[in-house]
Amino acid sequence: MKRSNIVTIALSSLPPPRLLPPAIYSMDSSVLDREDIQHLQALTPTEEELCLIKEAKAQNPNAPLAPAELCLFTLGEIPHLNSRLQLWAFALDYDSLEREIAEPLFHLKLAMEQLSASQTFRCILATVLEIGNFLNGCKARGFELSYLGKLSQVRDTHTRQPLLHHVCALLMQLYPQSSDLYSDITAVTKAGKCDYSLVQSNFAQLEAQCKASWEQLKILDKSEDKRKRKWGGQDDAPEGSLRHRLPKLLKECEERLKVLRAVHRRVINRCVASF
């Protein structure tokens, strides 16, 4: 009963069950949108549910099925339903999945360019290095960039002002032409909000999904070829539908992934080399 209630509630936002098979076969987004596909993935009937419905139908052949059972029965007659829905979802989601990877990489690339071009950032590094050499009585040629995050934590023993205060005072005195650093490195702020381990994970998942999509497409093509030979029928999906455009679309996704892989590798390698 709980499952039946869930299906009934989901049906309120879906087209009538009779319209579902042709829309799924042709992957018609004018009938089913991305949210509908997600609902259908949750409604995919199990073998046990289909057996129970068929048994009930055999025992009472003249009794009509309830809306929930009719929907599950209708979906259960669509071969490789899960593969069709997953392929359809991937085709609709690819652009946004790619954007989730490309945008953080773009911000990281732009952040490195802005830091490299910022004269104010160079002045800050030079000032911090001179202060560090003075305090430590040495002539180091550089320092770890992570030390910049500690400038507000180190205080002088006389006024208890943080080292960051003294760095800013010296910058204004020695480099009056310096600009507002934050206006120079806006991309750094955006890049700092990105989790690049998640970007790496998303990229691996996107590659896996693309590979799985090819396998799912082979399953559907094999199933439809078998049905044609057996029944001499035509395609369930009309020419020009998304279903027929899938091979070309997946090939395009594959080519775009190659470009994205090269961009990812170059940006990350450049970042590691820079810091």
In a domain, 219, yes or no: yes
Is pLDDT of 174 > 90? Answer: no
- 270 vs 54, 146, 170, CA distance in Å? 61, 18, 32
Same domain, 112 and 127: no
Is pLDDT of 154 > 90? Answer: no
In a domain, 59, yes or no: yes
Backbone φ and ψ for 155, nearest 5 degrees, come out as -120, 150
Enclosing domain of residue 139:
119-184
pLDDT band at 236 (very low <50, low <70, confident <90, very high): low
The pair of three-digit structure tokens given for residue 144, joined into one six-digit string? 């770890």
Mean pLDDT of the chain: 89
pLDDT band at 144 (very low <50, low <70, confident <90, very high): confident
Which of 55-69, 83-97, 143-157, 216-230 holds the top average pLDDT?
A: 83-97
Q: 1-48, pLDDT tens digit by residue?
A: 888 888 888 888 999 988 999 999 999 999 999 999 999 999 999 999
Same domain, 100 and 178: no
**C-beta pairs of 171-176 under 8 Å, 24+ apart in sequence:** 171/123, 171/124, 171/127, 174/123, 174/127, 175/120, 175/123, 175/127
Identify the domain boundary among 160, 184, 208.
184
pTM summary value: 0.80
Same domain, 179 and 222: no
Number of DSSP helices (H) and strands (E) in the chain, helices first: 12, 0
